[in-house]
Amino acid sequence: MKTPEIAIGCDHAGFEYKELVKEYLTSEGFSVKDFGTNSAASVDYPDFVHPLAESIEKGETGLGILICGSANGVAITANKHQKIRAAIAWQLELASLARQHNDANVLCLPARFISAEDAKKFAMTFISTDFEGGRHQNRVDKIARC
């Protein structure tokens, strides 16, 4: 089975890490769709978060990675989408638990608070970790509020 394309996006504060994570994932054999931004010039993160989230909702991409200074802005914005479960991780175990327990489909990384090496490790952990289901499925089913 072919691995779905990974969506990646950022604002100006996350640009450097986005490029590093994208290069790393590509070198590991993943297909990565870049939603921008494409420089360190100041931008508004929702302009990049919404298209990334919509691509996941439509099934055009699989999991997503968003990077900004604190990760808060991109996480808040992504979580406005009904089918998105975005989680912030600043430790390796949080990236893993976001998938295992919450079936998160977007990882949000705080570039100003983690190292570049950690960003790559957290991204790979998130992508390679499966949702455990079981008792967690019932909880995940209760998240959406339409």
Supply the range of the domain harboring residue 131. Answer: 6-141
Mean pLDDT of 21-25: 98
Note whether residue 146 is domain-resident.
Answer: no
Angle between helices 15-27 and 116-128 (to 10 degrees): 50
Catalytic option among 101, 108, 136, 146: 101
E strand residue ranges, 89-135 = 106-110
- Does pLDDT of 71 surpass 50? yes
Whether the CB-CB separation of 85 and 44 falls below 8 Å is answered with no
DSSP assignment letter at 102:
T
**42: CATH:** 3.40.1400.10
Q: What residue has token string 């570039």? A: 111
**Helix ranges (DSSP H) in 28-70:** 46-57
Note whether residue 27 is domain-resident.
Answer: yes
- Residue 128 is inside which H or E element, if any? helix 116-128
The whole-model pTM stands at 0.95
Structure tokens at 31: 């297909």
What is the model's pLDDT at position 53? 98
Q: Which of 97, 34, 106, 116 is nearest to 76 (CA)?
A: 106
81-109 pLDDT, tens digit per residue, is 999 999 999 999 999 999 999 999 999 99
Catalytic option among 68, 81, 108, 146: 68
Q: Is 68 a catalytic residue?
A: yes
Note whether residue 62 is domain-resident.
Answer: yes
Note whether residue 66 is domain-resident.
Answer: yes
Note whether residue 43 is domain-resident.
Answer: yes
Confidence bin at 1 (pLDDT 50/70/90): very low
What is the model's pLDDT at position 3? 67
Note whether residue 114 is domain-resident.
Answer: yes
* Structural domains in the chain (count): 1
Note whether residue 65 is domain-resident.
Answer: yes
100-143 pLDDT, tens digit per residue, is 999 999 999 999 999 999 999 999 999 999 987 788 988 888 88
Q: Is 101 a catalytic residue?
A: yes
33-46 pLDDT, tens digit per residue, is 999 999 999 999 99
Note whether residue 1 is domain-resident.
Answer: no
**Helix ranges (DSSP H) in 6-115:** 15-27, 46-57, 72-78, 92-100
